[in-house]
Structure 1
Amino acid sequence: MWEHQSLFRVSAQLFAEGIFNLLDRNLRPEVFLLGLASGREEDDPESVVVEPTNLRYQPADFATIKTRAASFETADIVAPRESVYHLHPQDHDRMEKQRWYELVCRATEETLRELVGARAENRRCFVSTPLSLNGYLVVVVVQLAADVYSAYYCLPGKATSGRPSNLPHAAVLEFLHECTRALREADTADNEQPVLDRDYNEVLRAAGRRLMLRVSPGNAHGLYDACLGIAALRHEGGEGQGTMLLAKRQHPAIVPVLTLEAPVPLRDHRSIRKLLELTEGRTGLVSDAAHVFGLGIAVDEDSPQYEPLATVQFTNHYGWELRHAEHTLMRVVSNTPRLPQGKVQADNFARVLHQVFPDVDAAGAAYLWELALEASGQSHGTMLCISTGAKPEAERLRRQCFRVVPRPMTPPVLRQASSIDGAVLIEPTGVCHAIGVILDGQATERGDSSRGARYNSAVRYTSSSPYPCLAVVVSEDGWIDLLPSTLHT
């Protein structure tokens, strides 16, 4: 299709990994390019190009996409054309071209869905809007692990390019937008390669803004940043905590408690922060994403007026969460959106554990799960490091840990041992060799400057450890991460 298509595909793959690894490493993004020649017949061998060429899908798998797109238009599967009079012929051509691109996008999604279903692949496919480049309609495809993606709560209703269903979907839309932008800018420049250099966290912040637009009852273009400003303020030295209900004024699902005579603009961060002191329990501020009208209580689920509402829960200084129907859609700490981690899930822990330690049996996995569950319950943050080299590592790190006489670890002892800074170092059998371990390791691209020292030290250690290991990291802000060693998974 063009000279640097392989380089762009590789850079897009690395870009996707950088973004989605910050959300959930188990999403395992995979990116490939699909090119549909504009002026070639479907039986032409060069009518379809797939990059990389060694992909499990072949060009023949996508040979009928344009025919399928044309059939959609004939059958009027998509929304019918509106009767619009265009004053300029170029406007008409542009609208027709955009409509054709949407049909091709739809046909590509359905073709991929059929391929994935026929091969029983655990993949969820997302497709960019085609871009005309050197005689080809270029489509960027990103696939995620379907089971991991589906495990996160999705907003009700149909998800579209303008209506993300959750934070991973919003991140996908931002990723595809960046890929299309890079291709378009490279096409208009002289011999320029497409560049994907946007900061990963900035992409996630844009995804967070996109998600809040979806749940907002009104004009929410400033809602995300308003929440950041409110969470950053203190009132009389205290951290900001409270609830804000997102709903239209006089919403039937909200019982008014106190109505302000003059609504307070949401951009007035200090006033909103002060009003948050009035919220308690189920009582929250009522806002349409532009103003706060007063205090209200959401009706119970058994009420005829009940409707799931989006809420913003301010948790601590610089921290807040976006929720819908009691489900957490995203957590924002220091202007960085992340997925809700909550407690470690047993099935997820077992899957990661067996990836790192395939010889651990079911009884051993259940025993380690009890320890991980105990570690995840620590409110002050802690770290449990499981390593086949726990004994030699305790010896190597003897000057930065408290070595103990080897003994099987139990949940009560772990609760006591994790009350001090540092990691608890155990073998896959559960035998403990050291506590208060200050982990070391080489700097890595997996680090995240928005996270704390505990998380980043675990990332460095697991990335460079010569032994298979798994770190369960519980941060003080409530995030829980499973970090397997990269050299052995």
Structure 2
Amino acid sequence: MILSTAKQISARNVLEGLRQGLSRFSGPSRAALIMAETPDAPLVVHDPRRLLRGHEPKLAKVFLESSGWRDMAPDTAAMKPFGQAAWAEKLHLTGLICAGGYSQPLFYQMWFTERHPNMCSTGPTERWLEHAVWLLAHDYASEGAFFTSASKHALEAFEHHAVRNHIFAEMSKGLGRPPHIPLYPILAAVLDISTTREEGARPTGQVIFVEPSDADNVPWLIRFPEVERPYLHNAKHVRKLLSCVENSSRRLVSDGDRVLGVSGPANGLANRLTADFQDRFGFLRLGGKPVCSFVDGVYQSTTRKPNLVVLEEALLEAQAGPDQGHSLFQVASAIVDEARVEGFGCTLVLDPKATHPALAGQSVHPSLFLDDPLHLDLAKSLAKLDGALHLTGGGELRAFACLLDGRSVESEDRSRGARFNSALRFTAMHPGVIVVVVSADSPVFIFQGGLQLNAMCDLRQEADLELDPPTLEKWLSEQ
């Protein structure tokens, strides 16, 4: 019983380390595990935050109505207890990412986490789940002899390794061999460069990393002599060189160790790894496809674009015509995206049925119809001013620099700024309007009826450690 308890604690520690690490990489996340310790053991479910609820029919079909997951398993008894595993067939569950495997110490594991709608790629997260398979198998192989929570801490800080492992796997597929460029030094250098300013300005421009064998295929504009090539880890020097490629189709070219020169567009290099610096944040791309973003010296999975699905749904329910609702959504999205890219905060008051009286601000007579690109461009600039834009109907600008007032409400948050709390108060008094607030550091908040529509749930840590997880049959019966 002591050994069993140590193993279950290991499972919960790995689960919590995975959740915390993914929450930093992708935003608030949940994680779950379905496992069977031996070929004859029943499946048990670790799902402390109800991630798998709603997927019961598919789970019952895969695991109870079929024995394929057990019958198709490799001979785990012949495997080495450490360092050997075979990957299991992935499940296809809407909104979830999963990965699992078979091993000698732990017969079957299948890990799950959320698929956030604004992820650049699911690849790094899949590598994260695969590493959880390795770590838990190793913990079971040690049989609790080394109970240090090391696996939990390793998963909490796995973002560099997850990104590197994904890039390594994808480049190996494309090249037919492991890549020769040093991926860990590249990832460290990209973050160093991204936080290095030149005369107060953040970096913009692109650096591409190419295999030595591809160097002759680069469309060179300048190729530095070998003895004069700057080292990539010299972030200050590379930041200065970026000045010659910003706002252009030119690129700095590196082999991961040094900067080799300056090229023109290099779209023909299929396996190129690109660091795209965009002032406040940036992106890593492989073959032109996004892998992840980086901001403030950390890697994240987000595309940096706000998820406005909640806003679109709210406009559809506002009883405006479908065409008007769509037009107003497109206008609001364009202004929000401009604020995100330029890094300024703003507030939009969306009045779909144009029933709200004139706001205290600068009126626009006649109203500007923002389906005109020139008018929309002007509205984006006006959004930078203090105060809100008043948008009605299908995207008409009625006023700008508007003041929002209202009585205090219980849902106010004093840790937020004036825009946030003013929007709460204003929508509590005027339920027919929707207010969108863009913070200067990019978060987007959507309010209606005195509530934040896109608020995140607080995923608190479980108070008690579940040492006796339910079997899958019992878990399904509790739905």
State whether residues 380 and 475 of structure 1, in contact with CA within 8 Å, keep that contact through their aligned partners in structure 2.
Answer: yes
Q: CA deviation at 1:374?
A: 4.0
Larger RCO (CA within 8 A; separation ≥ 6): 2
Change in CA separation of 1:10 and 1:282 when aligned onto 2, cut-off 3 Å: closer
Change in CA separation of 1:333 and 1:343 when aligned onto 2, cut-off 3 Å: closer
Residue type of the partner of 1:289? G
State whether residues 382 and 423 of structure 1, in contact with CA within 8 Å, keep that contact through their aligned partners in structure 2.
Answer: no
Q: Which of residues 332, 338, 346 in structure 2 aligns to 1:383?
A: 346
Q: CA deviation at 1:229?
A: 2.0
2:230 counterpart of 1:264: yes
Question: Under a length normalisation based on structure 1, what TM-score does the superposition of the two structures give?
Answer: 0.61
Change in CA separation of 1:208 and 1:341 when aligned onto 2, cut-off 3 Å: same
Local SS of the residue matching 1:188: coil
Distance (Å, rounded) in 2 between the aligned partners of 1:350 and 1:311: 30
Alignment partner, residue 106 of structure 1: 88
Distance (Å, rounded) in 1 between the aligned partners of 2:283 and 2:26: 20
Q: CA deviation at 1:324?
A: 3.7
Local SS of the residue matching 1:245: strand
Alignment partner, residue 196 of structure 2: 233
Query: What pairs with 1:190-269 in structure 2 (closer than 5 Å)?
Result: 204=159, 207-211=162-166, 213=168, 217-235=180-198, 239-249=202-212, 251=214, 252-256=216-220, 257-262=222-227, 263-269=229-235
Local SS of the residue matching 1:371: helix
Distance (Å, rounded) in 1 between the aligned partners of 2:425 and 2:146: 40
State whether residues 80 and 104 of structure 2, in contact with CA within 8 Å, keep that contact through their aligned partners in structure 1.
Answer: no
Alignment partner, residue 295 of structure 2: 333
Residues 134-164 of structure 1 deviation map (CA, whole Å, 9 limit, x = unaligned): x76443223537xx47xx66xxxxxxxxxxx
Change in CA separation of 1:424 and 1:184 when aligned onto 2, cut-off 3 Å: farther
Alignment partner, residue 49 of structure 1: 44
Distance (Å, rounded) in 1 between the aligned partners of 2:291 and 2:421: 25
Distance (Å, rounded) in 2 between the aligned partners of 1:7 and 1:209: 26
Question: Under a length normalisation based on structure 2, what TM-score does the superposition of the two structures give?
Answer: 0.62
State whether residues 390 and 426 of structure 1, in contact with CA within 8 Å, keep that contact through their aligned partners in structure 2.
Answer: no
Change in CA separation of 1:192 and 1:244 when aligned onto 2, cut-off 3 Å: closer
State whether residues 178 and 196 of structure 1, in contact with CA within 8 Å, keep that contact through their aligned partners in structure 2.
Answer: no
Alignment partner, residue 322 of structure 1: 284
Residues 228-249 of structure 1 deviation map (CA, whole Å, 9 limit, x = unaligned): 2223334455543443221123
**CA RMSD, 1 decimal:** 5.4
Unmatched runs of 5 consecutive residues or more in structure 1 = 41-45, 75-91, 117-121, 154-165, 396-400, 448-452
Q: CA deviation at 1:382?
A: 3.9
Unmatched runs of 5 consecutive residues or more in structure 2 = 172-178, 455-479
Change in CA separation of 1:18 and 1:420 when aligned onto 2, cut-off 3 Å: same
Q: CA deviation at 1:67?
A: 0.8
Change in CA separation of 1:49 and 1:185 when aligned onto 2, cut-off 3 Å: closer
Local SS of the residue matching 1:267: coil
2:47 counterpart of 1:67: no
Distance (Å, rounded) in 2 between the aligned partners of 1:388 and 1:197: 48
Q: CA deviation at 1:124?
A: 4.9
Alignment partner, residue 313 of structure 2: 354
Local SS of the residue matching 1:290: coil
Distance (Å, rounded) in 2 between the aligned partners of 1:6 and 1:464: 47
Distance (Å, rounded) in 2 between the aligned partners of 1:459 and 1:130: 51
Alignment partner, residue 34 of structure 1: 34
Distance (Å, rounded) in 2 between the aligned partners of 1:32 and 1:310: 33
Residue type of the partner of 1:174? W
Query: What pairs with 1:85-234 in structure 2 (closer than 5 Å)?
Result: 95=80, 99=84, 101-102=85-86, 105-107=87-89, 109=90, 112-113=91-92, 116=93, 122-129=94-101, 137-144=108-115, 148=117, 166=121, 168-174=122-128, 177=131, 181=135, 188=144, 204=159, 207-211=162-166, 213=168, 217-234=180-197
Q: CA deviation at 1:36?
A: 1.7
Change in CA separation of 1:273 and 1:367 when aligned onto 2, cut-off 3 Å: closer
Q: CA deviation at 1:33?
A: 2.0
Q: CA deviation at 1:192?
A: 9.2
Distance (Å, rounded) in 2 between the aligned partners of 1:241 and 1:48: 51
Identity of aligned residues (%): 11
